Chain A
Amino acid sequence: MELVVQGILLGGLYATVALGLSLVFGVIKMVNLAHGEFLVLGGYVTSLLVVSLGGDPLLLAIPAALIVGALAYPLQRYLLTPLMRHSTEAPITATFGVSVVVQTVLLLVFTADPRTLNAPYAASQVEVLGVGMRTTLLIATVIGVALVIVLDLTLRRSRFGRQVRAAAFDPDAAGLVGIDLKHTYAMVLAVAAAVSAIGGALIALSFSVDPVAGTGWLLRAFTVVVIGGLGSARGTLAGGITVGLVETIAAAVFGAQYRDVAVFGALVVVLLLRPQGLFAKVQRA
C-alpha cells in the first residue's frame, strides 16, 4: 500500500513536469528539447525571487512561472515559428541550441553546484491513513491535478482554447478563419514554459536543480508523455502516475539499480504494443 501511494505521489510530480512538453507536442507538433531547461529555469528564477523578495517558494513560483513564460513567448514567435516554415527538423534543432545556451548561461552565472528551495515542509512527511508521504510530493500531486483540470477546461471551454485546438487540428484552416497562428503558438509555448517552471520549483523543493539537470528530467518527461498518450493533459497525468508506480515498485522489488531498466523497458513495450500511448482513449474523449 505504501509503495502504491509513494508511486502515485511521485507520478503526480512527473505529470506536472511533463505537462508542458505534452502541450507543445499536441498543439505545435514540435519536440521541445529545451523543455528540461524551462524546468530548471523555474527552479532558479524561484530561488532568485526567494532570495530577493523573501517568502514561500510555492507562492513565488507563480511570478517565476510568468517570467519564464514571458521568456518563452518571443522564442516561439520570432525563432521557432518562422523556422517551422522551412522544415519540421529546424525548430527541433533550434530548441536543442536553446537548451545548450541556457545550460551554459546557468553554469556561468550560478556555477555547477546544486540549488534547493527551502521551506519548513521541504524535508517533512505527513501521515495519511497510516501511510507516510513526502509533503512536497503530496503538494506536487495536488498542483499537478489542478493544472491538468485547469488546462483541460481552458482548452475545451475558453475562446483561446478553441483557437488552440483549431490550430492544432488544421493550422491552414485556422489561419484562413482569422486565427493568429504566430500568437497562438507563442502563447502555447509560453503557457507550457510557465507550467514547466512550476514543475521546476517543485523539483527544487523536493530534491534540487542544477544547470545540467534538465536533460534527465526531459527524458523522464518524454517517457511520461509517450506512455500517457501524446498531447493529452489527462493522458499525461495517467502517464505520470504509471511511470511513478513502475519506478517505485521496480526499485522496491528488484533494487533501485533496475529502476531505469524497468521504466524505459515499459516505454519500449508501450511503443511496440500501443504506440499511440496507453491512455489514447482519454486523449480523444
Chain B
Amino acid sequence: MTAFRRTVVASTIVLALGLTAGCSAAGGSADDPVVLGASLPLTGPLQAFGTSLEVGYQLAVDEINEAGGITVDGVARELALEIQDNASTPETASEQARDLVLESGAVALLGPATPPLSIPVSLAAEQLKVPAIMTITPIQAWKGANPEGWKYAFDAFFDEVQMTDTQFQAADLVETNKKVALFTDLEEDGIVMGGLWADKAESFGYEIVAHEEFPVGNTNFSAQVSEAKASGAEVVIAQVIPPDGIALLREMKAQGYQPEVLFLEKAGNTGGYPQLSDGLADGVLAANWYAEGMGLDREADFIADFAEQTGGVNSDLGTIAYGYSIARILIEAIESAGSLEADAIVAAIAATDGEYPAGSIAFADDHTAALPAVQTQWVGGDQVLVLNAGGDAASSIAVPVPGLQ
C-alpha cells in the first residue's frame, strides 16, 4: 500500500468514526443518558439566577432518575444535565447553546434567565431546531425579540403588563396622597416599565409628580431625591440594579425622605437585600414570582428544603421553583412524545397544562405561559406576600418604609 493510499484509508476511517460519533451525538445510543443542556450565568452579575436555576434543574433530573428515568422509543433511559457557565454574557450563552446541542448531544435546552441571555439561547434553539424552555424572562420582552414567532422555544414567566399593575394595586392598600415619584434607569426594562407606569398611573387614580431617569451605574442621586422629596410623593417606584438601589436608599436616608411605600423593582429581588443595604431595604416592596401563601404546588416542601439555602423565602427560592417547573415540563414532554424527535417534543410542550411549583402552566399559541406577579415586602430575610395574584391584600404593609426611618 502506497503512502498516499494509506493516508486516504486512514482519513476515511477517521472521517467515518467522526460521522458515527456525530450521528450518535444527538440523543446517543439507547444505553446513553438523554442529555438536557443549560447555559447558565453561574458567575457574573446574574450569578444568583444561575445558581438557583441549576438547583431547580438538577432536582428535577435527580427525581426522574431516582424513579427509573424516562422511556424513549420503548426503552428506559437516564437523564443527564449538562451545564456550562456563560459568565452572564449573551455571546457566550449563544455559543454554549450551540455547543451543548452539537458537541454534547443535548436534545433540548433549559433557559439561562433574563432577556439578554434567554433571547440568544432561544434564537440558537430556533436555528438548531431543538426544543427550549426559558424562565425568569418577562414574556413581552421575550416575545418582542422574535416578531416572526417562536417555533421551538417557550417562555414561562410573568407578563410586564400585569406586573406593572401590582405597584398601584399594592399602594391602594395603604393611605397615601397618590402622588408618585418614578426612578427608572435607562436599561431596556427600565425604559419599558417606566413607560408602563407613567401610562397607567392615571387609570389607577395616581399622579406622577416626578420621573427621574438615569444611566445604569448611577451613584449620585442627590438632585433627584431632592426633587422627589420636594414634589411630596408618598409613593416611590424605582427600577434599578442592586448597587444603584443601595445608592438611592442611602441618599433617601441621608435627606430624610420617607415615602409611605417604596417599590424597588429588580434590585429588591436580590436575595438578602436588606442585609446588603445595612437594613435600609427593610420594608421595601418588590414584585415577585414566589412567596409563602400563594398556594402553589409543593410550596411547603420547597420552603422547607431551600429557605435556609437561599437565606429566607425570597425570589431566589422562587427561581429554584421556576427552574424545577420548566425542567419537569421538558422531561414530561419528552416522556409524552416517547421519542427524541424535536417536533414531537415541541408539540408535547405546547400541550402542557398542569400545576407546578411555579403555578398553573399552559402555553399559549405564541409559546408563552404568563404566570402572575405578586407584591412582596422585605421583612427580615423574607419577602412576605402583601398582594396576591388576584390583586387583593394578602397581609398588611408596614408603612412608612421601616428601613428609612
Contact = CB atoms under 8 A, between A and B. Distances in A.
Contact of A135 (B242, B254, B256): B254
A112 B255 contact: no
9 contacts: A104-B43, A112-B44, A112-B88, A116-B278, A207-B243, A210-B45, A248-B222, A251-B223, A259-B218
A108 B43 contact: yes
B278 A118 contact: yes
A108 B45 CA distance: 11
Given A116-B246, A118-B278, A251 B254 contact: no
B215 A259 contact: yes
Interface string A1-39: 011001000100000000000000000000000000000
A144 B255 CA distance: 23
A111 interface: yes
Interface stretch (B23-31, B73-81, B269-277, B374-382): B269-277
Interface string A229-272: 00000000000000000011001100111011000000000000
A10 B242 contact: no
B48 interface: yes
Contact of A116 (B44, B223, B272, B277): B277
Nearest to B247: A207
Interface string A111-126: 1111110100011110
Contact of B48 (A104, A108, A111, A115): A111
B339 interface: no
A267 to B, nearest CB: 15
A122 B278 contact: yes
B253 interface: yes
A6 B224 CA distance: 12
Nearest to B273: A113
Contact of B223 (A6, A113, A135, A257): A6
Contact of B254 (A3, A125, A209, A247): A125
Given A123-B278, A208-B243, 20 more contacts: A2-B226, A108-B43, A116-B246, A116-B277, A116-B278, A122-B278, A123-B250, A124-B253, A125-B254, A132-B255, A206-B247, A207-B247, A208-B276, A209-B243, A252-B223, A255-B213, A256-B218, A256-B220, A259-B214, A259-B218
Interface of B: 43-48, 88, 186, 212-215, 217-224, 226, 242-243, 246-247, 249-251, 253-256, 270-272, 276-278, 280
Contact of B246 (A2, A10, A114): A114
B276 A257 contact: no
Given A113-B242, A113-B270, A207 B48 contact: no
A134 B215 CA distance: 21
The 9 lowest CB-CB distance pairs between A and B, nearest first, are A256-B214, A123-B253, A118-B278, A114-B243, A207-B247, A125-B254, A123-B250, A208-B246, A257-B213
Given A104-B43, A125-B254, A125-B255, A213 B223 contact: no
Contacts of A216: 217
A189 to B, nearest CB: 26
Nearest to B211: A255
Contacts of B272: 113
Contacts of B223: 3, 6, 248, 251-252, 256
A134 B222 CA distance: 9
Contacts of A206: 219, 247, 250
A173 interface: no
Given A248-B222, A257-B213, A134 B251 contact: yes
Contacts, number: 105
A107 interface: yes
Contacts of A260: 215
Contacts of A135: 254
Contacts of A208: 242-243, 246-247, 276
Contacts of A209: 243
A201 to B, nearest CB: 15
Contacts of B270: 113
Given A104-B43, A113-B272, A248-B220, A122 B186 contact: no
A158 to B, nearest CB: 35
A135 B242 CA distance: 22
A212 interface: yes
A132 B229 CA distance: 14
B254 A124 contact: yes
Interface in A116-160: 116, 118, 122-125, 132, 134-135
Contacts of B277: 116
B359 to A, nearest CB: 27
A92 to B, nearest CB: 23
B220 A251 contact: yes
A2 B43 CA distance: 41
A210 B222 contact: no
B93 to A, nearest CB: 16
Contacts of A259: 214-215, 218, 220
A251 B183 CA distance: 14
Contacts of A118: 278
Residue among B47, B48, B88 with most chain A CB within 10 A: B47
A257 to B, nearest CB: 4
A207 B278 contact: no
Nearest to A107: B43
B254 A207 contact: no
A256 B215 contact: yes
Residue among B220, B224, B246, B278 with most chain A CB within 10 A: B220
A108 B44 CA distance: 9
Contacts of B214: 251, 256-257, 259
